[in-house]
Structure 1
């Protein structure tokens, strides 16, 4: 049976060879009603044959997790304007331009009549009229070189190259041809400026440009992020930047790690405006976007989507953890250092100019936890106990790591189990010791590569996380939160990375072969 998408204006059909997916409307009444509302067809009710294609989901497929953005379809193009509206909008600017050009032509004509009767001496006394006449001469001259099939009436215009234009009456100049050339040149200039500008229209149909400047895969994802943040940006009054430009500026700051003065030149504002905009937008994305995209999944959801690589060896794996560091430019004052780590810092040695983070990655490859940043040589145990990670664990959960992070006792206190990948199998019988050692080494390498791939993916997508971090982002934490602005930037980068659906699935480990 051939299915057609029910969204108004969408012509996608299930045909042989198509890569699109078509989904039934959910059986759950509440979710089904939300799908109907998203389709937005007045008085329409779906039947058993109604289908919705995958292009209306951010990731290209529906997700049954209620906290996912793709729990309900959200990608819909706006309805096109009626032909009458398009025609009126398109003709409004040319009409104004034609009126101005006609007025200018009439003035030039009158001035030309005056100069022909006044004589050479009067022309010398009016240098402004001579400049205007020269401008008309230059335009007519350039026009004549472009026209290959001109009539004999245009011969005086060609003679203007030799200085004879002053003898030609202005009335014989074809101003319609000049106007046509100027209009074409104007249109080409407008298109060129539009392509070079950082505007919503210039990004709408250019996925590569969106990816380069924002790190997001396409304009639909960028538009969805804008839709989520726009209601919370009403209090941000900025006469020079629109809401879209404020979001784009912030994403460019995170993505390309451009300095404030560079962004100020690009968007035509002051550097102080860029600083305020970035800090405000990061706060909004931290409170709005992060809870939506970075969250701890339920145990049932984890087990349901557990990769085959871990089903046999670690079926209760809840998270794979690791630590990463980011350098910053200027050292913290000692008082601020001790305050930020909760009096748990163990000195200010080689790690003094580094921010250390604990990150948790689900086996499916998405970031589920990011700690706040701490400075100095703080132990992994102190970081894990003070960042709230242990509170996420449930009895029976398995926490994996590629190396010993010295948190086994802290994890055990929560009823969970901390395991180094390959550590349990390494204690097997001696008859297959060499084979199991190889399997354990491969498993450890796979887990380590898994986490490192996700971390490097986030840093590669948002290069501001590679450092060094400017002091303005690390020395002014909010009073209502123990997170600095850069802590929020790290969390926002992880949230945006999750929205890209670019998860790094855990590679399949070598399977143990039974031994006799």
Structure 2
């Protein structure tokens, strides 16, 4: 009821006839436990084999599509980011990097939360994704993920739409950009499934613990239990 409908704790206390403090205690105990048990449902593929039907026939070894999703807070919060000395303040969002499987649309990676004003490149570099990608794999993304060099160091490929040069694209670049845009619809549909959980569509209190939010993003694993997005 909390994850799916985001009922206030006072409402849940009334419904179940308990103190609001008990509601808070139950959530703090069970959400991390759910995260532990459902996390194995999110696994990165260890193969370079990707779809071969159009449009993937010109994007070989495409095993994943990455994108970002954000959670809103009703007031600024201050978090010290992992592996980064800077404390970023005055923001109202937390950003997550997610990846889906190109065959089925299931989530294969979910990052820890980052400050909403972090760049897409920063989230890639510090998310842990680079630690699990395999040589030869191709990952698709939008233009914001200017991190080809980071993936190249892991001997894999990041394919993003081409940037305009002198106001135009070559014929091949235009075709590839349209193909990437067409397959990215699948990751957008996958993220819509996250938003079915109202905990991620309604603004959260800035008193919410970051670890708790990172645990709640495990709803991606629950989304993986739904029918695949292979025909999306």
Instruction: Assess, with a 3 A threshold, how the Cα gap between structure 1 residues 394 and 358 changes in structure 2: closer, same or farther.
Output: same
Q: 2:110 aligns with which of 370, 380, 397?
A: 370
**Does the CA contact (< 8 Å) of 1:381 and 1:410 recur in 2?**
no
Q: What SS class does the counterpart of residue 13 from structure 2 fall into?
A: helix
User: Alignment partner for residue 497 of structure 1, among 220, 223, 230?
Assistant: 223
> 1:265 is matched with which residue?
14
**Residue 42 of structure 2, aligned match among 274, 281, 294:** 294
Separation in 2, partners of 1:269, 1:410: 51
Query: Per the alignment, do residues 416 and 440 of structure 1 end up closer, same or farther by CA in structure 2, a change over 3 Å counting?
Result: closer
Aligned to 1:444: 180
Distance 1:266 1:346, change over 3 A: closer
Q: Paired residue for 1:66?
A: none
8 Å CA contact 2:98–2:110 kept in 1: the answer is yes
The CA distance in 1 between the partners of 2:57 and 2:113, in whole Å, is 35
Unpaired segments ≥5 residues, structure 1: 1-251, 428-432, 476-483, 508-516
TM-score by length of 2: 0.87
Give the whole-Å Cα distance in 1 for the aligned partners of 2:230 and 2:29. Answer: 34
Bigger Rg, which one: 1
Q: Does 1:467 align with 2:202?
A: yes
Q: TM-score, normalised by structure 1?
A: 0.41
Native 8 Å contact 1:321 1:360 kept in 2: yes
Distance 1:396 1:457 in 2: 29
Q: By percentage of residues, which structure has more strand?
A: 2
Aligned residues: 227
Partner of 1:443, secondary structure, is: helix
SS state at 2:54 partner: helix
Q: Does 1:326 align with 2:75?
A: no
Distance 2:52 2:198 in 1: 29
Aligned partners of 1:346 and 1:447: how far apart in 2? 36
Q: Distance in 2 between matches of 1:257 and 1:309?
A: 40
- RMSD of aligned C-alpha atoms? 2.5
* Highest RCO, 1 vs 2 (Cα 8 Å, sep ≥ 6): 2
Q: Does 1:453 align with 2:173?
A: no
Q: Please state which structure has a larger fraction of its residues in helix.
A: 1
Tell me by how many angstroms 1:342 deviates: 3.3
Change (3 A) 1:381 1:506: farther
Q: What CA distance in whole angstroms lies between the structure 2 residues aligned with 1:307 and 1:500? A: 24
Structure-2 residue corresponding to 1:283: 32
Q: Which residue of 2 aligns with 1:392?
A: 132
C-alpha separation in 2, matches of 1:307 and 1:372: 32
Using the alignment, how far apart are the partners of 2:23 and 2:89 within structure 1?
A: 33
For residues 308 and 344 of structure 1, what CA distance do their matches in structure 2 show? 45
Q: CA deviation at 1:451?
A: 1.2
